[in-house]
A and B are shown apart, each in its own frame.
Chain A
Amino acid sequence: MFDTALTSSDFLFLARGAGMTLLVTAISVVLGTCLGIACGIFRFQVGPWWAAPMTFLLDIFRSIPLLIQLVLVNAFLGMVLKLKISGFSVACGVLTLYTAAYCAEIVRGAIEAVPGTTRRAARSLGLTWWQDMTSIVLPLATRVALPSWIGLALGVMKDSALVYIVQVTELLKATQILITRLQEPLLLLMICGLFYFVISFPLARLGGYLERRWSND
C-alpha cells in the first residue's frame, strides 16, 4: 500500500480541490448566513401566517436533495434562460440559499428563545426596536444560535462535496479523478476523508463545548 504512484503534482491537484471546497463553503456560509438572519428576523417579526410563502420557499431547499437543486438551477439558467453562468457561481448560489434555509430556522428559534418579558422591559426603558435587537436580543440569541450555526457551517462544507455535478472540481471530485488515474482508491479516499475530518472534528467539538458552556441552566 505504501509504494504509491502519488506524485507531488497530484498533491497540488488535491490541495487545489481542497481550496475549492473551502472557497465554496466560505462564500455560501457568509452570504447564506446574512440572508438567513434577514429571513429569520422577518419570519419572527411578521409571524407565521404572513411569512408562510417565504417559509414554504425556504422549506423546499430542505426537502429536496441538494443534487436536484443544483441540476435544476443549472438547467434553468443554462438551458431555459440561455445564460452563460459558471458552475462555480451556480454552486455558490444554490449553497447560499441552502444555507439560508437552515439558518433562518436557527435564527428564528434563537430569537424566540429570548424571553418576551426581557424584550418588553428593554422597550419600557425607552430602547428603540433596533437598540433592543442589537443590545438585548443579539447577545442572548447568539448563545442559543452559535452552536447550531457551527453545525450548519460544517454541514454545508460536507454537502459542498456535491457541487461536482455542476463541473466544480472540489476535493472529493479531485480525489475521484485521481482514483481513476492511479487506481489506488483506499489511500486517496483516506487522504480526502482526513482533510474533511481534520477541519470538521475540532470545530464540531468547539460547538459541543459552547453548547454545554452556554446552556441556560
Chain B
Amino acid sequence: MFSYKFQWNQAFARLPQMLDGALITMQIAILSMVLGILLAIVLTVFRRSGSRVLSGIATSWVEIARNTPALFQIYMAHFGVATFGIHFNPFTSLLIGITFNNAGYLAENFRGALKAIPETQTRAGRSLGMTSNQAFGYIMLPQMLRIAFLPMTNQMVWAILMTSLGVTVGMSTDLYGVTQALNALTFRTFELFALAGVVFYVIVKLIQFAARLIAMRLFRY
C-alpha cells in the first residue's frame, strides 16, 4: 500500500531510555503541581487579604498565567530573565514556567471552590473563638482543596502535557526531549513519536485512575 517500511523494533529498542525520560517528566509535573498548589493557596490568601498591593499582585499573576500561552511563560522564564543576567538551566526554566501556569489556573479554581463554601461556616468558626486565620486554615482550606480536587486532577494532566514544551528551551532529558534526541539519531520519526505518544497516554490514564481512587475516598459521604 505504501512504500514506507515501519521499523517498530527501532523504537522499542529505545523504550528504556524513553521510560527514563518519562520519569523526569513525572518528576517535573509532580514538583510543579506541589509548588503550584502551595503558590495558588498563597495567591488565594493574597486575593482575600483586602490589601490592594497583595491582591493586585495575585490578580496580575492569575490573569497573565491564564491569558498567555504556556510556551510564552516558559520562554519568559528562560530567555526573558536572561536579560537580567539570570541564567536558569532548562530544567529550572521549565519548572518555573509550568509552576507559574499551574499556580495561576489553580488560584482561579480555588476562588471558585471557596464561593461554594457557605459564609456561615466562617462565622460559626469565629463564634467558637477561632481567629480569622484559624477559621480559614481549619475550615475553609480543607474544604476548598476537596471541592477543587477535580480541577486539580485536570491541571495535573495539563502539567504532564506541558512538560513537552521544555524542548524549546533545550530540555533533553524529559520524555519529549529524549524522543527528539533519539529522532535526530535514527530518523524513525513516526515510530518514535507514536511510542512517546503511547507512553504519554498511559501516564495520563494512570493519573486519572489514581485520581478516581483518591476521589472515591474523598467523596465517600
Whether the pair B72, A60 counts as a contact (CB closer than 8 A) is no
Q: Report the bound CA distance from A108 to B189 in whole Å.
A: 35
Interface string of A53-82 (1 = CB under 8 A from B): 000000010011111110110011001111
* Stretch of B36-44, B118-126, B144-152, B198-206 on the interface side: B198-206
Interface string of B63-83 (1 = CB under 8 A from A): 110111111100110011011
CB distance from B177 to the nearest CB of A (A): 11
Whether the pair B2, A81 counts as a contact (CB closer than 8 A) is yes
Whether the pair B80, A185 counts as a contact (CB closer than 8 A) is yes
Question: Could you give 21 example pairs across A and B, Cβ below 8 Å?
Answer: A63-B157, A63-B200, A63-B205, A65-B162, A65-B163, A67-B164, A68-B193, A75-B190, A79-B190, A81-B2, A82-B2, A82-B3, A159-B69, A172-B75, A175-B75, A189-B72, A189-B80, A193-B72, A200-B66, A201-B63, A204-B66
Whether the pair A189, B194 counts as a contact (CB closer than 8 A) is no
Binding site for B on A (CB under 8 A): 60, 63-69, 71-72, 75-76, 79-82, 154, 158-159, 161-162, 172, 175-176, 179, 184-186, 189, 192-193, 196-197, 200-201, 204
Q: Cβ of B167: which chain A residues have Cβ within 8 Å of it?
A: 67
Binding site for A on B (CB under 8 A): 2-4, 6, 63-64, 66-72, 75-76, 79-80, 82-83, 157, 161-165, 167, 176, 189-190, 193-194, 196-197, 200-201, 204-205
Whether the pair A192, B72 counts as a contact (CB closer than 8 A) is yes
Chain A residue nearest to B180 (CB atoms) is A71
